[in-house]
């Protein structure tokens, strides 16, 4: 937060204006919006806004009975920027911009750079100071700069704050209540990060935050900006990273928001064909305007600078880079060369990632991109978009399609569980069982599984087992860790009463144990994005619907064997090729009784046989559990006492 002392700058300087119009004012939140300013003994707020087509702009609020023209703003050097300073205004004062449009109408607009807003359904911006919170995460912030996210575990808990859990009388929990309860829950469940569905200010609860009016304001539904800082601070003190969903593709049309901000299309394109997003009832951002680029890049840097977040999952990237992605219009859009790419959006994305990494080299910039657009996670200087991770939506689609089949039909669809390895290293992937898979009649993960109750839970356990051992980082939507039966109900809290049912309680034991095992087992994540980290043992056993593979770490001998059985058959004396001679221990088995399974486990050390099999020099004979996943490693003195069965 920019606080001006002694000789305050009451309007943007020439450098600010030049960079803003060039699209490179990457910290515009220090220039635009409402900033507390001290002049001598008198304090007040400086207001600055971009409205190039306005005939006049003034500040209205409770302090002047919402009378337009009473506190007029001054144009700054024909730049389209307006500014003024009002003495005596305190914190939490309601205000808007009264903008006289070219047609002579007066429109009241919330501040695009407002740091705080009224609680819906009210729509005014609130004056705010962001320089008063005392952070306690200095150690985390120092360590964060040294983190190599590509070579460390990443298990993300995706969360919608409004429906994770409710307080008494169905009240929304506050940021501080969530900090005390949610953060501890995430830590104890073995997750490394929380990903929050958008918490930027938005008018409609059921947009889930994806249609924003206040890009710089954490929603007041859950408390104040300082309360949200406390939430992030608490995450960091528990060793949990914070990722925000962010929507630079489009914004909502509510009259107090960005749409036709000065009476003309400003943040959106002038051409209605390019501005309208009929599928969502929103406006697209106009990435050809440098001022919009400055606004959005500033917004990304703002959340990392002021709120210390680790990064973003950028929503709807496909709709940004492809002009006709999910296009409901009765015609095709083309760029100036006759192609179908949004050239300005692609250029913006590259500039965004470069600007973020320039200030925050360890930032997480994660793309939700659903097409085969190349080099999404490639560096910009080599033609890539510059993200460092991408959701692997192809894997999610294929594996869920496979799991819906009756287990004895799966042999005919075996390629659905093996195809992903043909492209697993084309991008830096995150495997994501997100909210998108659990709404609009798609059913919960448990309810997608076939069979009776036992088989459904067993299917879900083997699915999670493959999920956690397949190359790529991990994301799981809230409630899935205890096998929520109903699909996500965004107006209600999760079905916490399911913990009273033995199978759900046992499944939660499984998910927690698997998360902790994953974090402790370096070969499951050390080479996630390098081909040397994976080797098939047998990818072709369609008849038995069994796959087996090796996950490898950086050090010699750091590897584990993974076997997944997608049928309810138990296979005794199953031959499995192994790369080295010795004794092997089963360290994890999804069929353990403690997880709700049938107990078909290999509890004793298994000695290898010195005969080649599966193109390996040796083999084992072991029991393969029904609808189960097993992880084995070579026996060492340490590993004799580290099996998951003794740690539940």
Same domain? 79 vs 169:
no
Same domain? 318 vs 177:
yes
Distance CA 307, CA 225 (A): 9
Report the pLDDT value the prediction gives residue 383, as an integer from 0 to 100.
Answer: 96
Per-residue tokens: 128: 């705010």
Distance CA 267, CA 353 (A): 20
The reply to whether 487 belongs to the active site is: no
Report the pLDDT value the prediction gives residue 5, as an integer from 0 to 100.
Answer: 36
Report the pLDDT value the prediction gives residue 89, as an integer from 0 to 100.
Answer: 94
Our separate counts of H helices and E strands in the chain read: 14, 30
**Could you please report the per-residue DSSP string of 287-311?**
TT-HHHHHHHHHHHHHHHHHS---E
Neighbours of 146 (CB within 10 A): 7
Report the pLDDT value the prediction gives residue 192, as an integer from 0 to 100.
Answer: 98
- Measure Cα distances from 305 to 25, 141, 177, 197, 450 in Å: 15, 11, 24, 19, 47
In a domain, residue 262? The reply is no
Same domain? 222 vs 316:
yes
Of 512, 533, 559, the residue that ends a domain is: 512
Report the pLDDT value the prediction gives residue 41, as an integer from 0 to 100.
Answer: 82
Which range of residues forms the domain containing residue 39? 14-126
Distance CA 17, CA 147 (A): 36
Report the pLDDT value the prediction gives residue 647, as an integer from 0 to 100.
Answer: 45
Same domain? 588 vs 529:
yes
List 16, 368, 487, 538, catalytic entry: 368
Residue 623, domain CATH: 2.60.40.1180
Same domain? 146 vs 102:
no
Distance CA 643, CA 371 (A): 40
Distance CA 315, CA 369 (A): 8
Same domain? 48 vs 174:
no
In a domain, residue 428? The reply is no
313-340 burial, b if ≥16 CB within 10 A, otherwise e? Answer: bbbbbbbbbbbebebeeeeeeeeeeeee
In a domain, residue 80? The reply is yes
Distance CA 440, CA 565 (A): 30
**Could you please report the per-residue DSSP string of 47-67?**
EEEE-TT-SEEEEEEGGGTT-
Same domain? 531 vs 506:
no
Closest CA to 244 of 166, 302, 176, 323: 302
List 268, 286, 315, 487, catalytic entry: 315
Mean residue pLDDT of the chain comes to 95
Q: How confident is the model over 597-611, as pLDDT tens digits?
A: 999 999 999 999 999
Distance CA 389, CA 213 (A): 27
Length of the chain: 648
Distance from the first to the final alpha carbon of the chain: 46
In a domain, residue 446? The reply is yes
Report the pLDDT value the prediction gives residue 11, as an integer from 0 to 100.
Answer: 75
Alpha-carbon torsion angle 103, 108, 110, 112, nearest 10: 10
Domain count, the chain: 3
In a domain, residue 5? The reply is no
Same domain? 501 vs 533:
no
Cβ proximity of 199 and 161 under 8 Å: yes
The reply to whether 100 belongs to the active site is: no
Cβ proximity of 224 and 116 under 8 Å: yes
Neighbours of 392 (CB within 10 A): 25
Closest CA to 197 of 162, 167, 225: 162
Of 456, 489, 512, the residue that ends a domain is: 512
Contacts by 490-495, CB closer than 8 A, 24 or more apart:
490/160, 490/162, 490/163, 490/205, 490/206, 490/208, 490/439, 491/163, 491/205, 491/206, 492/163, 492/166, 493/163, 493/164, 493/165, 493/166, 494/163, 494/164, 494/165
In a domain, residue 273? The reply is no
Report the pLDDT value the prediction gives residue 331, as an integer from 0 to 100.
Answer: 85
Residue 390, domain CATH: 3.20.20.80
Same domain? 106 vs 149:
no
In a domain, residue 621? The reply is yes
494-530 burial, b if ≥16 CB within 10 A, otherwise e? Answer: bbeebeeeebbebbbbbbbbbbbbbbebbbbbbbbbe
Q: How confident is the model over 397-448, as pLDDT tens digits?
A: 999 999 999 999 999 999 999 999 999 999 999 999 999 999 989 999 999 9
Report the pLDDT value the prediction gives residue 602, as an integer from 0 to 100.
Answer: 97
Residue holding tokens 């969903």? 245
Global confidence as pTM: 0.95
Same domain? 397 vs 546:
no
In a domain, residue 455? The reply is yes
Residue 74, domain CATH: 2.60.40.10
Of 460, 478, 512, the residue that ends a domain is: 512
Report the pLDDT value the prediction gives residue 640, as an integer from 0 to 100.
Answer: 64
Q: To 5 degrees, how large is the angle CA 79–CA 82–CA 83?
A: 130
Same domain? 112 vs 158:
no
Same domain? 174 vs 70:
no
Report the pLDDT value the prediction gives residue 505, as an integer from 0 to 100.
Answer: 98
**Could you please report the per-residue DSSP string of 464-505?**
HHHHHHSSSEEEEETTGGGT-SSPP-TTS---GGGGGSHHHH
Distance CA 237, CA 243 (A): 15
Which segments in the chain show pLDDT lower than 70?
1-10, 639-648
Distance CA 383, CA 461 (A): 40
């Amino acid at each position: 937060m920019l606080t001006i002392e002694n000789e305050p700058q009451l309007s943007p300087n020439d450098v600010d204006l030049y960079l803003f119009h060039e699209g490179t004012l990457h910290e515009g939140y220090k220039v635009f919006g409402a900033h507390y300013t001290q002049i001598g003994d008198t304090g007040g707020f400086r207001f600055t806004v971009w409205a190039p087509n306005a005939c006049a702009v003034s500040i209205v609020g409770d302090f002047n009975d919402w009378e337009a023209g009473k506190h007029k703003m001054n144009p700054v050097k024909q730049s389209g920027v307006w500014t003024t300073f009002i003495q005596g205004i305190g914190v939490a004062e309601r205000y808007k911009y009264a903008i006289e449009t070219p047609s002579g109408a007066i429109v009241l607009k919330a501040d695009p750079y407002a740091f705080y807003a009224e609680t819906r359904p009210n729509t005014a911006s609130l004056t705010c100071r962001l320089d008063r919170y005392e952070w306690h995460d200095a150690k985390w912030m120092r360590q964060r700069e040294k983190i190599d996210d590509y070579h460390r575990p990443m298990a993300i808990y995706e969360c919608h704050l409004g429906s994770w859990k409710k307080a008494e009388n169905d009240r929304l929990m506050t940021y501080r209540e969530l900090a005390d309860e949610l953060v501890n829950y995430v830590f104890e469940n073995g997750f490394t990060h929380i990903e929050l569905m958008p918490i930027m200010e938005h008018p409609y609860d059921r947009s889930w935050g994806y249609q924003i009016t206040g890009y710089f304001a954490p929603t007041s539904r859950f408390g104040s900006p300082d309360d949200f800082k406390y939430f992030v601070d608490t995450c960091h003190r528990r060793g949990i990273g914070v990722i925000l969903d962010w929507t630079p593709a489009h914004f909502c049309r509510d009259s107090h928001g960005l749409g036709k901000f000065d009476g003309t299309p400003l943040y959106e394109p002038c051409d209605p064909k390019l501005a309208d997003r009929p599928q969502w009832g929103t406006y697209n951002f106009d990435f050809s305007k440098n001022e919009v680029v400055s606004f959005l890049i500033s917004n990304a840097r703002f959340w990392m600078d002021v709120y210390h977040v680790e990064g973003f999952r950028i929503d709807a990237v496909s709709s940004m880079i492809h002009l006709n992605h999910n296009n409901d219009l009765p015609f095709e859009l083309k760029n100036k060369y006759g192609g179908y790419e949004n050239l300005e959006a692609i250029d913006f994305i590259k500039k965004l990632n470069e600007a973020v990494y320039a200030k925050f080299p360890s930032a997480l910039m994660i793309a939700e991109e659903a097409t085969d657009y190349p080099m999404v996670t490639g560096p910009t200087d080599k033609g890539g978009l510059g993200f460092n991770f991408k959701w692997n939506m192809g894997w999610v689609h294929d594996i869920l399609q496979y799991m819906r089949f009756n287990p004895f039909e799966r042999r005919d669809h075996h390629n659905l569980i093996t195809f992903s390895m043909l492209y697993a290293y084309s991008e830096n992937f995150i495997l994501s069982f997100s909210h998108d898979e659990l709404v609009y009649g798609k059913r919960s993960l448990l309810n997608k599984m076939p069979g009776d109750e036992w088989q459904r839970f067993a299917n879900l356990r083997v699915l999670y087992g493959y999920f956690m051992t397949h190359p790529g980082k991990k994301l799981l939507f809230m409630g899935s860790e205890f096998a929520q039966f109903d699909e996500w109900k965004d107006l209600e809290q999760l079905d916490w009463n399911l913990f009273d049912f033995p199978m759900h309680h046992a499944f939660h034991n499984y998910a927690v144990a698997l998360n902790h095992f994953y974090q402790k087992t370096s070969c499951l994540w050390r080479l996630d994005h390098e081909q040397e980290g994976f080797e098939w043992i047998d990818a072709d056993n369609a008849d038995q619907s069994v796959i087996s593979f090796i996950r490898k770490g950086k050090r010699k001998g750091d590897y584990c064997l993974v076997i997944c059985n997608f049928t309810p058959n138990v296979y005794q004396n199953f031959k499995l090729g192994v790369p080295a001679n010795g004794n092997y221990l089963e360290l994890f088995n999804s069929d353990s009784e403690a997880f709700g399974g049938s107990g078909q486990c290999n509890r004793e050390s298994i000695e290898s046989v010195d005969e080649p099999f599966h193109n390996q020099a040796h083999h084992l004979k072991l029991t393969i559990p029904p609808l189960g996943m097993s992880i084995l490693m070579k026996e060492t003195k340490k590993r004799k006492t580290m099996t998951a069965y003794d740690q539940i």
